[in-house]
Amino acid sequence: MIKAIIFDMDGVLFDSQRIHFEAEKRTVANFGGKITDSELKGYLGWNEEAFWEDVIRRCHLKTTVEELEQYERPRLEKMMESALKKDEALGDLLSYLRNRKIRLAVASSADRHLVGMILGKLGITRFFDAVVTGEDVKRSKPAPDIFLEAAKRIRVAPKDCIVVEDAPAGIEAAKRAGMHPIALRGSVNKGLDLTGAEREIADLNGLPGIIGFLGAKPSV
């Protein structure tokens, strides 16, 4: 019986991946390198430190993770803020799920400040019983830690949790956590291998049907 839904944030609750890609490409270019959207897709689901460490290696950058983060962060936040607005439709969906007695959580590899800003700007913070970020766990996806921590905080057994993800690393992490991974397939992750997911949806409006498919019996 499905009792909870755990959402990734970037690319799931907010279509932010193209903004991330643009900020990352500008940052790499500033330090003398070049990276493509296709290459960046391979990092979906990685936490920030691991991502920049590998980009330094891949692009042969003569800099540090700290310098890259310091350059990118204010630019990324400015781009995010200009794109973010209250999402009434998303709020209606989350409200519907909560009214059906489904517990909700966010599990994002991003840092706490960025997650809080995005959820706040979207106007959806109040719908979540727990928010777990990359700062709250030692190991990032595809390790299951972030999803297990979310399940612990909302007091739901992993086997009773759906995870909505858009990245292979997130799908693998959900499987390793003993949860039900659902892939949100969009334009950014088109072509990525999400075959580990139990089902695919084109948008979050497909969630109520998924819950029924997996055997939930939520209260009306």
Average pLDDT on 130-140 reads 93
Q: Is 43 exposed, middle or buried (0-12, 13-18, 19+ CB in 10 A)?
A: buried
Q: Are both 173 and 112 inside the same structural domain?
A: yes
HSE-CB at 106 with a 13 A cutoff on CA atoms is 26
Nearest to 170 by CA among 50, 45, 15, 51: 45
Q: Are both 95 and 186 inside the same structural domain?
A: yes
Does 76 fall in a domain? yes
Q: What is the CATH number of the domain that holds 206?
A: 3.40.50.1000
Q: Categorize the per-residue pLDDT at 162 as very low, low, confident or very high, splitting at 50, 70 and 90.
A: very high
Domain final position from 83, 112, 128 = 83
The answer to whether residue 214 scores a pLDDT higher than 70 is no
Q: Categorize the per-residue pLDDT at 219 as very low, low, confident or very high, splitting at 50, 70 and 90.
A: very low
Residue 217 burial (CB count, 10 A): 11
Q: Are both 98 and 180 inside the same structural domain?
A: yes
Give the residue, 25 or 215, on which the prediction is more confident.
Answer: 25
Q: Are both 98 and 28 inside the same structural domain?
A: no
Does 42 fall in a domain? yes
pLDDT attached to residue 111 = 87
For residues 211 and 207, give the distance between their C-alpha atoms in angstroms, rounded to a whole number: 6
Does 119 fall in a domain? yes
Does 55 fall in a domain? yes
Q: Is 73 exposed, middle or buried (0-12, 13-18, 19+ CB in 10 A)?
A: middle
Q: Are both 115 and 179 inside the same structural domain?
A: yes
Q: Are both 93 and 201 inside the same structural domain?
A: yes
Q: Are both 133 and 207 inside the same structural domain?
A: yes
Domain final position from 83, 102, 137 = 83
pLDDT attached to residue 215 = 57
Nearest to 39 by CA among 49, 24, 29, 53: 24
Domain final position from 83, 114, 133 = 83
pLDDT attached to residue 186 = 81
Nearest to 194 by CA among 183, 202, 178: 183
pLDDT, mean over the chain: 92
Show contacts of 209-212: CB within 8 Å, 24+ apart.
Answer: 210/162, 210/182, 211/2, 211/5, 211/100, 211/102, 211/162
pLDDT in tens, 86-116: 999 999 999 999 999 999 999 998 889 999 9
Q: Is 189 exposed, middle or buried (0-12, 13-18, 19+ CB in 10 A)?
A: buried
Q: Are both 115 and 28 inside the same structural domain?
A: no
Q: Are both 30 and 127 inside the same structural domain?
A: no
Q: Are both 101 and 204 inside the same structural domain?
A: yes
Q: What is the CATH number of the domain that holds 79?
A: 1.10.150
Does 220 fall in a domain? no
Does 219 fall in a domain? no
pLDDT in tens, 40-61: 988 887 888 889 999 999 999 9
Range(s) of the domain holding residue 50:
17-83
Which of these ranges, 1-10, 22-31, 146-155, 191-200, has the smallest mean pLDDT?
191-200
Domain count, the chain: 2
CB 147 within 8 A of CB 163: yes
SS3 39: helix
Q: Are both 183 and 128 inside the same structural domain?
A: yes
φ/ψ of residue 185, rounded to 5: -95, 115
Q: Categorize the per-residue pLDDT at 33 as very low, low, confident or very high, splitting at 50, 70 and 90.
A: very high
Q: Are both 101 and 192 inside the same structural domain?
A: yes
